[in-house]
Amino acid sequence: MRVEPSWEQAVERAASARVILIIGETDTGKTSFTTFLANGLVGKKLKVGVVDADLGQSDIGPPTTVGLGLVFQPIDHLGEAEVAGLYFVGSTSPQGHLLPTVIGTKKMVEKALALGVDRVLVDTSGLIQGELGRTLKQHKIDLIDPDLLLCLQRGGESEHILRPYGQGHRPEILRLAPGTAGRKRSQEERRQHRERTLQAYFHGARTLHLDLSKVVLIQPCLYAGQPLPPRQLDEISGITDDMILWAERRGGELTLVTPDPLRESQLRQAQKRFDDASVINYSLDDFQGSLAGLYDADRETLGLGIVRSIDFAKQLLVVETAVSEAAIASVRIGRQKFRPA
């Protein structure tokens, strides 16, 4: 990729800024630019942390996570950074997951600073269009509060995001020419890249049987209420005309796990029977083949697992992972599916 003259200027500006946020549309060269910027700062004897907040095309950490990498010497690719932290979002797209995406990015910035890096670079996804892109990027800017905001754009496509930030002293905004890399990758090529990355990540994984009476299941929130007694289980099974794999009440919520998703009419009947409780329904497809985040006792993401099965009555979760079983204190099951070839 040809280096734009404005990129050299960005290195000089970034040398005096502690937290630098990089935005731009897909295929504007953000990742190549971030690599160039990290190398330029390392060349100035600075320790650099890179937060990779692109959930779908991750270079630091697997897809579905926000990753933190440390750079202490020149690299050819962001994937060469030393992985120092992960935050599991559970999806390869921020859509429907804006809050964990923004929180995860903030937590990785904080972790980088706590590890003593001199500069933090935040590489973001290419989602900038429309209200969704504007909401995501502006909330990242507001929460991370960068000293320097670097925007790669072709023709003003990010100005609707930058508009509120042009009047104050922070962040300093620098608009840059995009890189010229070759042709754009199609959605199918991006999907295949994610599959290959996850395939490599799970190479050598083994099967673990996690006892959910000891390991906390954060999401979905199960085993946190009172199991329905047999009589009520039979009653709810009659209402739904389906097998009930698990049912519990907590406060005003009724959680039902069934082989297949319940129809709206069945949910309304169950709600009416249980005093207008808010009925939450999960089916087996919400579990099997889903990626899960595995956490230690301090709620730090240890890595990912693939959910193979769950025995609800025995509270036994079967996952495939490279993470040590002894370190796992809690699990969050995400929305993203992955079935290795």
Please state whether beta strands 172-176 and 148-152 pair in parallel, antiparallel, or not at all (unpaired): parallel
How wide is the angle at C-alpha 214 spanned by C-alphas 211 and 216, nearest 5°?
A: 95
Going from N- to C-terminal start, the domains of the chain cover: 5-193, 206-216+287-337, 221-286
Tell me, what's the pLDDT at 298? 97
- Do residues 219 and 330 touch, judged by C-beta distance below 8 A? no
Residue 28 has pLDDT above 80, yes or no: yes
How wide is the angle at C-alpha 240 spanned by C-alphas 239 and 244, nearest 5°?
A: 110
- Do residues 144 and 153 touch, judged by C-beta distance below 8 A? no
Query: What share of the chain has pLDDT > 90, as a percent?
Result: 86
pLDDT tens string 118-130: 999 999 999 999 9
Instruction: Show the tokens assigned to 288.
Output: 């099997």
pLDDT band at 182 (very low <50, low <70, confident <90, very high): very low
Instruction: Show the tokens assigned to 183.
Output: 């042709």
State which CATH number among 3.40.50, 3.30.300, 3.30.479, 3.30.200 fits the domain covering 221-286.
Answer: 3.30.300
Amino acid residing at 39: N
pTM above 0.85, yes or no: yes
> What rounded mean pLDDT belongs to the chain?
94
- Give the distance, in angstroms, between the CA of residue 191 and the centroid of all CA atoms in the same chain: 16
- Report the alpha-carbon distance of residue 23 to residue 322 in Å, rounded: 33
Question: Please, what's the b/e burial string for 187-221 (b: 16 or more CB within 10 A of its CB; e: otherwise)?
Answer: eeeeeeebeebbeebbeebeebebebeebbbbebe
pLDDT band at 203 (very low <50, low <70, confident <90, very high): very high
Please state whether beta strands 65-71 and 226-227 pair in parallel, antiparallel, or not at all (unpaired): unpaired
Tell me, what's the pLDDT at 183? 53
- Report the alpha-carbon distance of residue 140 to residue 114 in Å, rounded: 19
Please state whether beta strands 65-71 and 82-88 pair in parallel, antiparallel, or not at all (unpaired): antiparallel
Beta strands (DSSP E) in 25-137 are: 48-53, 65-71, 82-88, 119-124
pLDDT tens string 251-289: 899 999 999 999 999 999 999 988 888 999 999 999 999
In CATH, which superfamily holds the domain spanning 5-193? P-loop containing nucleotide triphosphate hydrolases (3.40.50.300)
- State the residue for tokens 């990758």: 185
Host H or E run for residue 197: helix 187-201
